[in-house]
Amino acid sequence: MIKTVSYENGILTILDQSKLPEKVEYLRCHTPEEVADAILDLKVRGAPLIGVTAAYALALGMVNYHGNNKIEYFEKIYNLLASTRPTAVNLFWAINRIKKIFLENSSLDNTKLANILINEVNKMFKEDINTNKLIGEHGEKLLNLNSKVLTICNAGALATCGYGTALGVIRTGFRENKIKNVWACETRPVLQGSRLTVWELLEDNIPVTLITDSMAAYIMSLEKVDAVIVGADRIAANGDTANKIGTYSLAIAAHYHSIPFYVAAPTSTIDLTLTSGTLIPIEQRNADEIRQLANYPITHQDVEVFNPSFDVTPNEFITAIICEKGIIKKPFKQEIINFMGEEE
C-alpha cells in the first residue's frame, strides 16, 4: 500500500497528492513551516492524514530545535499548524494529543523529548491504519452482495495513514463480494474524486466509474446506486456531518430515492463540544481553485467566487455512522454519547 507520510532522521517525507495521478512524487520537509505549507496547498489532505502529518510536524520541530525556550517555540509551531485547515477536527485532536505529551515531558532535554514525541506519532500512524480496517469490517456488513456504491472526494488510503475510511469499507466490501461497482464523483473544484479516488481504486483493481458531481441524482433515479458512503471532516454531537462540498446534495438526493447514506469516520472525527453542525467552522478556499482548471483560466479572472471547501449534512439524512467501534445508529445524540463514553 502506498505510503502517504513517513518520518526518518529529521525529515518528514510526504506524498505530494497535488501531482497525482500524473506523478508519484514525494516532498521532503525539514521544518514545521514546510509541512504547514504542504497542508495548506492540499499536497497532503484528508482529515485523518492532516492530523497525523501535523503531529509529525510538531515532533519534527522539536527534533530540530536547539534553542533554550522550547515551550515558546512549541506554542508558535502549534499555532501555525492549527491555522491550516479549520474544518478537519482530526487536526486539533492530533496536535492536542502531542501538546499534552509535550507538556508532560517538557522538563526533559530536547533529544529525549523529541524522541518521545516521534514515538507517539508513530503510534498514532499505526492506530489510524487499525482504526480504518475496523471501520472497513463494520461497514462491509451493511452492504448487500454486488452493491453499487457512490462516493465523493477521497476518503481512502490517500486521506489517511492507510486503507481509508469510506474506501476502507469499499475495500473490505470488495474482498467479500459486496462491491460490484463504485461511482466516483469527480469532486469539483480540486478533483479529489477523479484524481485520487479513481487512481486508488484502480490500483487495487476495484471497478470504478467516474461521473461529474451533477450526475449523481440522475444515476440514483436510474436505480444504479445501492448505498452512498462518504468520509467526514467533523461530526457534531448530534450527528450533523461536515464533509467535502457536494456531500449535502448527495445526502438529499439519496434520501429522496430511499438510498442508505453512510458516513465512515474514526471517533476522532466526532466533536462532542459542538451540539450541532451549524457550529462547525467551514473553510473558505482560494478563488482560483474555481476560476482555473489545472492552472488554466476557465472564466473571467476577476469574477467574484464563493468557494466553501465543505458543507454540513444534517443528521436526518444520515442512515448510520460507521466508526472503529461499530455502527452508530439513530438517535445519534444518545448513541454518540454511548459510543464515545466507552472511550474513558
- Closest approach of ligand MRU to the CB of residue 1, in Å: 15
* 244 belongs to an annotated ligand binding site: yes
- Should residue 267 be labelled a site residue for ligand MRU when binding is judged by CB under 6 A? no
> The dihedral of CA 323, 13, 192, 226: what is its sign?
negative
Total count of residues recorded for the chain: 344
User: Can the peptide bond before residue 331 be classed as cis, meaning omega within 30 degrees of 0?
Assistant: yes
Residues 283-312 that bind ligand MRU (CB under 6 A): 309
User: With binding defined as CB under 6 A, does residue 235 bind ligand MRU?
Assistant: no
Residue 312 C-alpha cell reads as: 454540513
Please identify which residue in 147, 192, 194, 197 interacts with ligand MRU, judged by CB under 6 A: 192
Q: Interface residues for ligand MRU in 214-233 (CB under 6 A)?
A: 231-233
85 is in an annotated binding site: yes
Q: Is beta strand 208-211 parallel, antiparallel or unpaired with respect to 5-8?
A: unpaired
Q: Three-state SS for 130? A: helix
Residue 342 amino acid letter: E
Residue 243 annotated as binding? yes
Residue identified by cell 466509474 is 209
Whether residue 266 has a cis bond before it, omega within 30° of 0 = no
Q: Which is nearer to ligand MRU, 243 or 315 (CB)?
A: 243
Residue 16 known to be catalytic: no
Taking the CA atoms of 148, 176, 232 and 129 in sequence, report the sign of the dihedral they define: negative
Q: Which helix (H) or strand (E) holds 209?
A: strand 208-211
Span near ligand MRU by CB under 6 A; candidates 24-32, 97-105, 158-166, 328-336: 158-166
* Bridging pattern class, strands 5-8 and 11-15: antiparallel
Tell the smallest beta-carbon distance from residue 208 to ligand MRU (Å): 16
HSE-CB of 151 using CA atoms within 13 angstroms: 35
Q: Applying CB under 6 A, which part among 44-52, 67-75, 108-116, 296-304 lies near ligand MRU? A: 44-52
Residue 88 or 101: the one with the smaller Cβ distance to ligand MRU is: 88
46 marked as part of a ligand binding site: yes
Q: Which residues are annotated as a binding site for substrate?
A: 45-47, 85, 192, 243-244
Q: Which residues are annotated as a binding site?
A: 45-47, 85, 192, 243-244
Residues in contact with ligand MRU by the rule CB under 6 A = 45-48, 88, 153, 155, 159-160, 165, 192, 231-233, 243-244, 309
Looking at the annotation, which residues are catalytic?
233
